[in-house]
Amino acid sequence: MFSQKERATWKAHDGGILSLTFAADGKALASGGKDRLIRVWDLETNTEQVVLKGHSGDINALANAPDGKMLASGTPAGALRLWAPPGRESRRINSPRGGLTALAFPDNKTILSADGRNLVILWGVDGARRLHEWPLGSPVHSLACSPNGYVAAGTEVGTIHIFRPDVVPAKSGE
């Protein structure tokens, strides 16, 4: 049985909050908003730890790496940034298709991005290079990674696709 009692409430952004992600240890929460800022909150004290600046648009996607050593942020314009604690930008990835709608880390070495044009892309975080693409036939709006290596992608037309990024099909002719 779930309790409906709120643990805490506070004003976090000027404008709407479009994305949230918990730190791997559950002690912090990152929020992204229409104010183009990412704020990281200490959940023990409900205080702001750091403000990450640099995006020129709404922050509509956030994800934390499983080891807690990297935070990813994305915008509808396709800007994907990787941040290393305590708030230093470490990489920029410009999605050629643009329109990022979701982010997820399947592990600590790769990140998945989804866009509104039917595509999920697996990127290497070390060199920000594209490792693989999955065209899914309709716009992708959500991603989730399981502890046993599966990825779920939810689409605009109501379908869920399940796949494993470590099982990449060979290209024809190989």
Tens-place pLDDT, residues 93-145: 766 666 899 999 999 999 999 987 889 999 998 866 889 999 998 999 999 99
Q: Which domains does the chain have, with CATH numbers?
A: 17-163 (2.130.10.10)
Q: Is the pLDDT of residue 2 over 90?
A: no
pLDDT on residue 134: 92
Q: Which pTM value belongs to this model?
A: 0.87
Scored b (16 or more CB within 10 A) or e, 148-171 reads eeebebbbeeeeebebebeeeeee
CA distances from 73 to 70, 171, 172 (A): 10, 30, 33
Residue 173's pLDDT band (cuts 50, 70, 90): very low
Tokens at 140, concatenated: 């992708």
**How close are the terminal C-alpha atoms of the chain, in Å?**
53
Q: Is the dihedral of CA 37, 40, 45, 47 positive or negative?
A: negative
Provide the 3-class DSSP secondary structure of residue 90.
Answer: strand
Q: Distance (Å, rounded) from C-alpha 41 to C-alpha 5?
A: 20
